[in-house]
Structure 1
Amino acid sequence: MKHESANTRKMLERVPTEKNDWKPHEKSMKIGRLASHIAEIPTWITMMVTSNELDLVNMPAKPFVAESSEELLSVFDQKLEEAVTALGGATDEYLQTNWILRRGEHVIYDMPRAAFLRSLGYSHLYHHRGQLSVYLRLLDIPVPGMYGPTADDVK
């Protein structure tokens, strides 16, 4: 998680928060919301380790959108630290116990925490980080390498 988060942070550092309302398509999320969502994803990891369920009915009506790069990175760093701490205290046995995602009485998922960590934690983060790389490319902002150089690194 620490290794991948360094890559995520490199991506978040490039987000032009002055263009928070920009989106590549009418059906797309705005870049400010996408980046802020990525910054908050470690919260899901902490929740999966420290609680038994999440009821989506209780989610805030207005999603968080960072107003500056400093705020975006600060939220990401804080949420990451909390997630690393929570994971550090979890045993393999505990991670095999179930966690529930629901919307009111409707149970969406009920499965081992480890499976949730993979899907709603890590894979969710990578998916949105990939989206953000496309947004940066479309805005002609150099895309940082994640697992090697990008076209922006090649001279």
Structure 2
Amino acid sequence: MHTSSLRQNFLAELDHELANTRRVLERVPHDQAEYRPHPKSMTLWQLATHVVNLLAFKTLFLQADGRDFLDPNAPKPGPTPTSHAELLTRFDEYSATLRQALEASDDEQLTYNFRLHRGEQTIFEQPKATAVRLMGLNHSIHHRGQLTVYLRLLDVPVPGLYGPSADEK
């Protein structure tokens, strides 16, 4: 009987989701960067950049024990990408770093807690595996889904993610 580790399962899921996310990002039209479907919505470019920057947060969950939003020395993503090529380059770099961090971890390390906080106020404290899943993968998939709606509203063909999309039938 073959058993798969938590880390191996995460790696398989991560590879699948990163490939899907890259396919969505490849279709984000930079010439529509300021588009927003509603005044309360992020712009297309803010949302695409957020999806990419979340990869760095997932890496942080694996490599650190916590993050204080009030810490001025805490790691922050670089400046907003100014071109489609820059966005995809950052995605590829952050994806590779995240994958390396996950490969370097083990199942025991994934049980250690990660605390996200703002000074003394705890936003969440969860085992690293839970943080990666909830605030990492699920959070990214949520925003990727928003991106696909933006693409649809801009009449950009939407890639199939878990089977063919209406544009691929």
- Structure 1 unaligned spans of 5+: none
Matched, 1:27 2:40: yes
Q: What is the number of residues matched between the two proteins?
A: 154
The partner residue of 2:161 within 122, 128, 146 is 146
What is the Cα deviation at residue 65 of structure 1? 2.9
2: CA distance, partners of 1:64 / 1:143: 27
Q: 1:122 to 1:34 in 2, by over 3 A?
A: same
What is the Cα deviation at residue 63 of structure 1? 8.2
The partner residue of 2:137 within 111, 118, 122 is 122
Counterpart for residue 119 of structure 2: 104
Please give the per-residue CA displacement for 1:97-154, whole angstroms capped at 9, x wherever unaligned: 1010001121111111111011111000100000000000000000000011111112
Q: Which TM-score applies when normalising by structure 2?
A: 0.86
2: CA distance, partners of 1:146 / 1:126: 11
SS of structure 1 residue aligned to 2:70 = helix
Amino acid in the other structure paired with 2:84: S
Counterpart for residue 85 of structure 1: 100
The partner residue of 2:27 within 4, 11, 14 is 14
What is the Cα deviation at residue 66 of structure 1? 2.0
1: CA distance, partners of 2:143 / 2:68: 22
Q: 1:63 to 1:80 in 2, by over 3 A?
A: closer
2: CA distance, partners of 1:61 / 1:78: 15
1: CA distance, partners of 2:76 / 2:59: 21
2: CA distance, partners of 1:62 / 1:145: 29
- Structure 2 unaligned spans of 5+: 1-13
2: CA distance, partners of 1:8 / 1:22: 20
Please give the per-residue CA displacement for 1:37-65, whole angstroms capped at 9, x wherever unaligned: 11111111110111111111247899843
The partner residue of 1:5 within 18, 21, 28 is 18
Alpha-carbon contact 1:36-1:72 (below 8 Å) kept: yes
What is the Cα deviation at residue 17 of structure 1? 1.1
Q: 1:23 to 1:62 in 2, by over 3 A?
A: farther
1: CA distance, partners of 2:42 / 2:16: 26
SS of structure 2 residue aligned to 1:57 = coil
Alpha-carbon contact 2:53-2:77 (below 8 Å) kept: no
